[in-house]
Amino acid sequence: MYHKQIEQLVMLQRIDGEILTLRTELDNAPQEIQSLEKRHQDAETARNVVLEKLGYLTDQLKRLENDMEEDHVRLRKSKSKMMMVGNSKEYHAMVREMDNLEKLNRSRDEEKAAFAEELERQTSAEQEVTAKAEAVSKELEVARAGLDERMQAARKRLDVLAGQRKEACKVLPPPILSRYEFIRSRLPNPVIVSVDQGVCAGCNISIPPQAFIELQKGQQILSCPNCQRLIFWVQHIAPQTTPEEGKDAKA
Ligand SMILES: [Zn+2]
């Protein structure tokens, strides 16, 4: 009688433990997706920053090239005009103008080289951030697909467990079941725990020797004086492997 009830309570505990694990998983799953979405957004933002820089640099390079082209035209015109100047005063003025144009061109060359260098740097940065953004995007896609699958499996399993729980509750005497439910509503999981070598597995504290002797007699269902959980002597129940269904749900 006692042993059967303890066994049924332990079975109920297993069912409730799995239900709790599944519910936690269902609650946490959307958060995983959210944090992935955040990472995806950050990667896209980083990519846009680099793209903006690239656009700016490309524009600047084009502008410089236009300016340089105009200067070349001006320089050519000045050279041909020089052939036609009448006096040395005009001639010196022309030489100065050409000098200035050449200097300007040289500084533009340097500016252009600096822009080209930066453009190269940003181009490789762009490749990097694009690869990163694509990787996160793929990860997110896989996670979303996996999430739906996992949620569906978890809900299905929860339905099965609800049925099993109903059956397990049916065979327990009402006073014992209500004791179980009372503890379940007030303490964090688990409700019923083993006592091994006088130590409660729920709170890891030794129960008094007299209580341990009572427990070993196996006549009535006792509670741990410290944590109030239902207790059973570990040797009263054959060590059992995890229920098969439990393994399936986790796989
Ligand atoms: Zn305890």
Give the whole-angstrom CA distance, residue 85 versus residue 95: 11
Tokens at residue 4, please? 């059967």
CA 204 to ligand 1 centroid distance, Å: 6
Q: Which residues surround ligand 1, an ion (CB under 5 A)?
A: 200, 202-203, 224, 226-227
> Half-sphere exposure of 225 toward its Cβ, with a 13 Å CA cutoff?
11
pLDDT tens digits for the chain (251 residues)? 899 999 999 999 999 999 999 999 999 988 989 999 999 999 999 999 999 999 999 999 999 999 989 988 988 888 888 778 778 888 888 888 888 888 888 898 999 999 999 999 999 999 999 999 999 999 999 999 999 899 999 999 999 999 999 999 999 999 999 999 999 999 999 999 999 999 999 999 999 999 999 999 999 999 999 999 999 999 998 766 444 443 443 33
Which sequence spans correspond to the domains of the chain?
Answer: 21-171, 174-250
Query: If you classify domain 21-171 with CATH, what class do you get?
Result: mainly alpha
